[in-house]
Amino acid sequence: MLKVAVPNKGALSESAAAMLREAGYRGRRESKELVVRDTDHDVEFFFLRPRDIAIYVGAGTLDVGLTGRDLLLDSASPAEEVLALGFGGSTFRYASLPGFAADVTELAGRRIATSFAGLVEADLERHGVEASVVKLDGAVETAVTLGVADAIADVVETGTSMRNAGLEVFGEPIMTSEAVLIRPAEREDSAAVDVLVRRLEGVLTARHYVMMDYDIRVELVEQACALTPGLESPTVSPLHDKGYVAVRSMVPRKRTNQVMDDLYDLGARAILVTDIAACRI
Ligand SMILES: Nc1ncnc2c1ncn2[C@@H]1O[C@H](COP(=O)(O)OP(=O)(O)OP(=O)(O)O)[C@@H](O)[C@H]1O
Ligand SMILES: O=P(O)(O)OC[C@H]1O[C@H](OP(=O)(O)OP(=O)(O)O)[C@H](O)[C@@H]1O
Ligand SMILES: [Mg+2]
């Protein structure tokens, strides 16, 4: 049975559960369930703290896990990224009171509070900066106001937590993170892992693309196909009226309205857009 680690709470847990549900797997019936067996698919889901997931997967006791890229790197566990999952996007950044510093080199001899000590220590070493790292569990933004640190390094999504604490980010982002599927380093994937990866890729594709159909005059079909090239090539079907063809193509969801406007200007009509419920590419 394939053993999969899933965040039990925190910023990634709801989106991770939603993605697995969309991929056809059984979810938790209530939030206190720690293990869910999906016997139909021969998969067992272990609901764990997001920070611990890379440890279990790196140790090889679980086959794969969903966690944050930042947590994976912070743990230094022997696990590696298989697939980026397109949610839980954030950057990891230094911040302090306005005007305190312009970049990491100015942190020499200072105290930096964080709950990602591994990431921060590696970044300081990369820049040849000697500073002390104050390890905290969370709500790190308050550390400067309370005087336990001169600066912090933390997850930034909207920037609201930083702003509320009166802090400003400085320097280049230490890293860019999102939720990722991980597996033990240097382990050959099994057929069961391949199926899970294909299912998750199917969810990503279904989320990122829409299906677009339209009718266009035969002499304009090449120009229309250039606007809607699809993943491989659009489907072009004859219509009863020989002067027209019907075209069907996948279009990036974000570009839907722009592509419809461009097609309309070109002369396409009966332009229809539908959601893709599921797919295997
Ligand atoms: N506001 C956010 N937006 C996007 N991703 C976030 C956000 N906060 C945290 N994350 C990501 O979620 C992952 C785990 O963080 P999370 O805050 O859920 O764990 P935690 O701090 O251990 O748990 P908790 O905050 O519930 O105590 C990390 O990969 C982090 O980048
Ligand atoms: O830029 P923002 O949109 O404000 O999001 C970033 C904040 O979200 C997370 O906090 P969380 O709620 O997980 O609390 P924690 O710091 O105690 O983990 C993270 O640690 C930041 O504090
Ligand atoms: Mg948190």
Residue 214 belongs to domain with CATH number: 3.30.70.120
If asked whether residues 165 and 220 sit together in one domain, one would say no
By residue range, what is the domain housing residue 149?
Answer: 90-173
Burial string for 116-137 (b: 16+ CB within 10 Å, else e) reads: bbbbbbbbbeeeebebebbebe
Q: Is the same domain home to 22 and 55?
A: yes
Q: For residue 137, is it within any domain?
A: yes
Has residue 189 got a pLDDT over 90?
A: no
3-state helix, strand, coil in the chain (%, to 5): 35, 35, 35
Identify whether 202 is part of a domain: no
Nearest residue (CA) to ligand 1, atom 12: 11
Residues 6+ apart with CB under 8 A from 88: 11, 12, 15, 68, 177, 178, 179
- Looking up residue 71, the CATH number of its domain turns out to be 3.40.190.10
End residue of a domain, out of 59, 86, 113: 86
Q: Do 39 and 74 fall within a single domain?
A: yes
Ligand with smallest separation from the Cα of 71: 1
In a domain, 70, yes or no: yes
| Reported ipTM | 0.95
d(CA 189, CA 123): 31
Please tell me the predicted confidence (pLDDT) of residue 187.
83
pLDDT digits (tens, 9 = 90+) for 149-162: 999 999 999 999 99
Shortest CA distance to 163 belongs to which of 103, 112, 88, 97? Answer: 97
Model confidence at 281, pLDDT cuts 50, 70, 90, reads confident
Structure tokens at 58: 């790196």
Q: Identify the pLDDT of residue 188.
A: 81
- For 17, counting Cβ atoms within 10 Å of its Cβ (0-12 exposed, 13-18 middle, 19+ buried), the class is buried
Report whether pLDDT(247) > 90: yes
pTM: 0.92
Query: Do 228 and 163 share a structural domain?
Result: no
Q: What is the mean pLDDT of the chain?
A: 97
User: CB-based burial of residue 87 (10 Å sphere; 0-12 exposed, 13-18 middle, 19+ buried)?
Assistant: middle
Indicate if 60 and 9 belong to the same structural domain.
yes
CA–CA separation, 121 and 260 (whole Å): 49
Segment 220-237 shows an average pLDDT of 97
Question: How many whole angstroms from 11 Cα to the centroid of ligand 3?
Answer: 7
Predicted confidence (pLDDT) per residue in 22-37, tens digit: 999 999 999 899 999 9
With respect to residue 195, please indicate whether it lies within any of the assigned structural domains.
no
> What domain count does the chain have?
3
Residue 141 and residue 71 in one domain: no
| Alpha carbon of 95 to ligand 2 centroid (Å) | 13
Residue 280 lies in a domain: no
Q: Are residues 164 and 118 in the same domain?
A: yes
Residue 204 lies in a domain: no
- Domain co-membership, 82 together with 100: no
Q: Write down the pLDDT at residue 172.
A: 97
pLDDT digits (tens, 9 = 90+) for 54-70: 999 999 999 999 999 99
User: Average pLDDT of 263-267?
Assistant: 98
Tell me which of 155, 175, 177, 181 to substitute to probe ligand 1's pocket, judged by most ligand atoms within 8 Å of the beta carbon.
155
Q: Find the range with the poorest average confidence among 50-64, 112-126, 185-199, 249-263.
A: 185-199
Mean pLDDT to the nearest integer, 46-60: 97
> Which contiguous run of DSSP H or E holds residue 210?
strand 209-217
- The answer to whether residues 49 and 121 belong to one domain is no
For residue 180, the CA-to-ligand 2 centroid distance in Å is 18
Contact in structure between 18 and 204 (CB atoms under 8 Å): no
